[in-house]
Amino acid sequence: MAISYTCIIADDDEIDRLTTLSFVRKYPHIQVKGVFASAEEALSKMNTPLPDIAFLDVDMPGLSGLVLRKKLMNIPACIFITAYPDYAVEGFDLEALDFLVKPIQAERFQKAIHRVEAFLMLREKAGLLEHSLGADTIFIKEGHQQVKIHIHDIIYLEALKDYTQIVTGTKKYCVLSSLGNILKEKEFESFIRVHKSFAVQKNYIEQIKAQELIVKSITIPVGRSFKEKLLSITGK
């Protein structure tokens, strides 16, 4: 069965709103659940279940698209649309997958859709960290199967939005859990967070440099705020 998604569009400019709508309609597998002229209208008319994708104009009268996104963080994929590219940094802080500058070009819109589709497909395939078996084994649910992984086989963990990639020497697994929550599990006591997006096995650290470290011959970035604790724990 073909995968389908739902979306909403919020933009106070009628021409821009219709332009975005016309682009979306070129993708039959994306159903438009609502088209709104303001953030307030979107909030008042939003139905459940929430859509998969939100196309939000940033600079709207009243509540901005940025504020609307803050209120709709449960929508998995967000694409901001604006005439002011300076908003991009703040937009990505709100977990936006892409940022389109007006006037939108068809080719650029297509790239944004491909990015969203890749993210949503990966999110659907991501497993669930089920439970532990003993002190050094976890199960990851992949589809209808449970995969058994030994903790000592895991080299590092990488945060990817609302899921985490577990990397072993032979394979990468995605689980629907934040890096912070995983590191709270007792099975991951041997890991140390070295960056907002990375945690590594302490015993596998081979070298620590100014802004990165080497673990099992793999280069991992080291965040400035994590380095002092890293050095104190490893003694390297």
Each residue's pLDDT tens digit, 69-111? 999 988 989 999 988 776 655 555 667 888 899 999 999 999 9
**Gap between the Cα atoms of 101 and 16, Å rounded:** 11
Each residue's pLDDT tens digit, 173-219? 888 888 988 998 888 989 999 999 999 999 999 999 888 999 999 99
Give the SS3 label for residue 213: strand
The candidate with the shortest Cα–Cα distance to 80, out of 122, 112, 126, 48, is 112
Q: What is the DSSP letter of 204?
A: G
121 pLDDT more than 50:
yes
**Gap between the Cα atoms of 183 and 187, Å rounded:** 8
Q: What is the 3-state secondary structure (H, E, C) of 31-86?
A: EEEEEECCHHHHHHHCCCCCCCEEEEECCCCCCCHHHHHHHCCCCCEEEEEECCHH
CATH T-level assignment (fold) for domain 5-125 = Rossmann fold (3.40.50)
Model confidence at 234, pLDDT cuts 50, 70, 90, reads: confident
Q: Where are the domains of the chain?
A: 5-125, 128-234
Domain 128-234 in CATH 2.40.50.1020? The answer is: yes
Q: What is the pTM of this model?
A: 0.59
Query: What pLDDT shows up at residue 177?
Result: 84
